[in-house]
Structure 1
Amino acid sequence: MNADRDEVWRRCVRLGRVLLPLVDREPWRRERRHETLRAWGVDTGTGEGLIGICAALAAHTVAKDASASPEEFGALTVTAVAGAAGGSQDFELLAGAPDRFDDERDERAVMLLRVCSYAGDRHALLAFRLAQETRRALTVLAARSPQRPLTCQDVLRMAVGTDPAG
């Protein structure tokens, strides 16, 4: 059972990593996002990594709520993941984070989101903004698709060759 949870998390992370490259097929979106991140005082690489981990946490929340196996993960809709990203409190998304991570980058990103969420003031606002930016990216992707509803598996299929991490 634990192996299934680990595999679901890995698929969630993959979804988070391919999200922005897919959205950026319209180059102006990347420019706009970079401007927004800089206006928030966030390094664009760090901000994009945090958006990716927010997407992974939102997908993981939906998968856990649905008790989805790795095979069932692909059937989850991107709209449901977007709803979790934009409709959940930071601590709700973080509560679903795995206990251990295969990739140190993911662990650091989750820890940074935790610090932002619990630090209060502008840091909590940043965590909220990043979740909203994640929701926006997922919504754009879902709306762009001729297939209704767009599923997580559809996104992973679309991303073949897009994810630099493999």
Structure 2
Amino acid sequence: MTADHDTLWRHCVHLGRVVLPLMDQEPWRQDRRRQRLRSWGIDTTVGHRIIETLAALAAHAVAVDASLSAAEFGTLPLSTVAEAVTGKHDFELLAGLPDTFADDHDEIAVKVVRLYTYKGGRSSHQLLRLSTEVRHTLTVLAAREPVPLPTCADILGRAAEANLPQ
């Protein structure tokens, strides 16, 4: 894996990590999401981590499919990422990932998604529910942006304005 691909993955992970804090700027959204997760039998901490990971995986899959460099990642339309999270098969989201991860938490989260993907049954059903949650989150964030076709750079810019950690 090249340094550029590692950097691309880090950009995708950063996007995944900021979507929920940006969404939660309206506090009632977090309460509603937690209620949904509980009703689905998903621990909220685990659910939030998988949501972050699915957002990163979808962004990465779309960027790799489009042959985007890390420098071009910001041009990726958020709507394309939102469509990919439910429009691609789970195994497609896992293709082309790094063999090793700089962050152990990322590696564990990706392994959990892999496990849910290949285990089937209830796990796959939960993954589908979480994927729809990611799509909803990205769609809401895109609708908040003042530009007609918001990109990943717009969302990362919003995160920087909100002083969210990188």
TM-score normalised over the length of structure 1: 0.95
**In 2, Cα distance between equivalents of 1:38 and 1:105:** 23
AA matched with 2:34:
H
**1:17·1:163 contact (CA, 8 Å) conserved in 2?**
no
Tell me the number of residue pairs that the alignment of Structure 1 and Structure 2 aligns. Answer: 165
Structure 1: tracts of 5 or more residues without a match: none
Q: In structure 1, what is the Cα distance between the partners aligned to 2:97 and 2:42? A: 23
In structure 2, C-alpha distance between the alignment counterparts of 1:8 and 1:69, rounded to whole Å: 7
Q: What letter is aligned with 2:128?
A: F
Match of 2:100, SS? coil
Q: Residues 75-154 of structure 1: matches in 2 within 5 Å?
A: 75-154=75-154
State the identity as a percent: 53
Question: Are 1:18 and 1:162, in contact at CA under 8 Å, matched by a contact in 2?
Answer: no
Output the amino acid matched with 1:10.
R
Q: Which runs of 4+ in 1 moved over 6 A?
A: none
Structure 2 letter corresponding to 1:163: L
Counterparts of residues 14-53 of structure 1 (less than 5 Å): 14-53=14-53
Q: Report how far residue 162 of structure 1 moved.
A: 4.3
Partners of 1:148 and 1:154 lie apart in 2 by 11
Q: Kindly tell me: are residues 96 and 162 of structure 1, through their superposed partners in 2, closer, same or farther at Cα, counting changes over 3 Å?
A: farther
**2:75 is paired with a residue of what secondary structure?**
coil
SS in 1 for 2:31: helix
Give the CA RMSD over aligned residues. Answer: 1.2
What runs of 5+ residues in structure 2 fail to find an aligned partner? none
Counterpart Cα distance in 1 of 2:44 and 2:155 = 23
Aligned in 2, Cα 1:162/1:16: closer, same or farther, shift over 3 Å?
Answer: farther
TM-score of the two chains, using structure 2 as the length reference: 0.95
